[in-house]
Amino acid sequence: MHCFFFLTLILITASSCATKVTRIDTSTVTDLSGVWNDTDARLVAEEMISELLSGSWTNEFNKTAGRSPVVIVGTIKNKTYEHISTSVFTDDLERALTNSGKVQFVADPEFRQEIRAEREEQLGNAEPSTVSLKGHETGADFMLQGTIDAIQDAVRGKYAMFYQVTLELIDMKNNQKKWIGQKEIKKIVQRPSVRL
């Protein structure tokens, strides 16, 4: 009887500590800690996509070159103390701009190395008529670079988080900045005071 009671107590304790998972819509705002999250990345992507597509740089390039501009995503420097995956919003940028038909993107250096290795592999092993030859890559006209900065101001369990994301579109031929976009995000976070 004593063992049964002890076993029941263990089962009740274990079941009350079980992990609970609730699936929600990906557009739902979920600010749990106050630090950078998926909502911030989405807001940055939406703002930058809108600004890039409404800018005059694509039309100017098209008039001069007679084609859509080709862009490569360069480094987005994270100058905050947090781990921020910049690819979350740069991937959204690439997808939206590519699907708009106004901009073309080429693979970044990491992916290009994998593709070049595959071309080498094809040269020695693939049917000659199907081999992708070297020297036919598309060069980028512009590089998209940027920074993420953050400022935190705190006092007695309450703090403000300020993020500033700046993206710049650089002309590969002359290093001129053809477009600069900026998105700022500010949050107030208040932690409950612990009373004993």
Q: Mind listing the pLDDT tens digit for each residue in 28-53? A: 777 677 788 888 888 898 999 889 88
pLDDT surpasses 70 at 13? no
80 occurs within a structural domain: yes
What pLDDT is stored for residue 143 in this prediction? Answer: 94
Mean pLDDT, rounded, for 76-99? 89
How many structural domains is the chain composed of? 1
Q: Identify the residue with better confidence: 14 or 88.
A: 88
pLDDT band at 89 (very low <50, low <70, confident <90, very high): confident
173: domain CATH number is 3.40.50
What pLDDT is stored for residue 15 in this prediction? Answer: 57
Determine what percent of the chain is predicted with pLDDT higher than 90: 42
144 occurs within a structural domain: yes
What pLDDT is stored for residue 134 in this prediction? Answer: 86
185 occurs within a structural domain: yes
65 occurs within a structural domain: yes
What pLDDT is stored for residue 39 in this prediction? Answer: 86
pLDDT surpasses 90 at 61? yes
Whether the Cβ atoms of residue 81 and residue 148 lie closer than 8 Å to each other = no
Mean pLDDT, rounded, for 64-71? 94
pLDDT surpasses 60 at 2? no
Spell out where 109-176 has E strands: 142-155, 158-171
**CA proximity to 42, closest of 91, 106, 107:** 91
104 occurs within a structural domain: yes
Mean pLDDT, rounded, for 3-17? 58
What pLDDT is stored for residue 7 in this prediction? Answer: 56
What residues make up the domain containing 60?
Answer: 34-190
pLDDT band at 177 (very low <50, low <70, confident <90, very high): very high
168 occurs within a structural domain: yes
The DSSP bridge partners found for residue 168 are 145, 180
Letter for the amino acid at 24?
I
Determine what percent of the chain is predicted with pLDDT higher than 70: 87
10 occurs within a structural domain: no
What pLDDT is stored for residue 190 in this prediction? Answer: 84
What number of CA atoms fall less than 13 Å from residue 101's CA on the CB side?
Answer: 0
16 occurs within a structural domain: no
User: What is the DSSP track for 81-108?
Assistant: SS---THHHHHHHHHHHHHHTS-EE---
Cα(186)–Cα(132) distance, rounded to whole angstroms?
48
pLDDT, tens digit (0-9, with 9 covering 90-100), for 100-123: 889 999 988 888 899 999 999 998
pLDDT surpasses 70 at 1? no
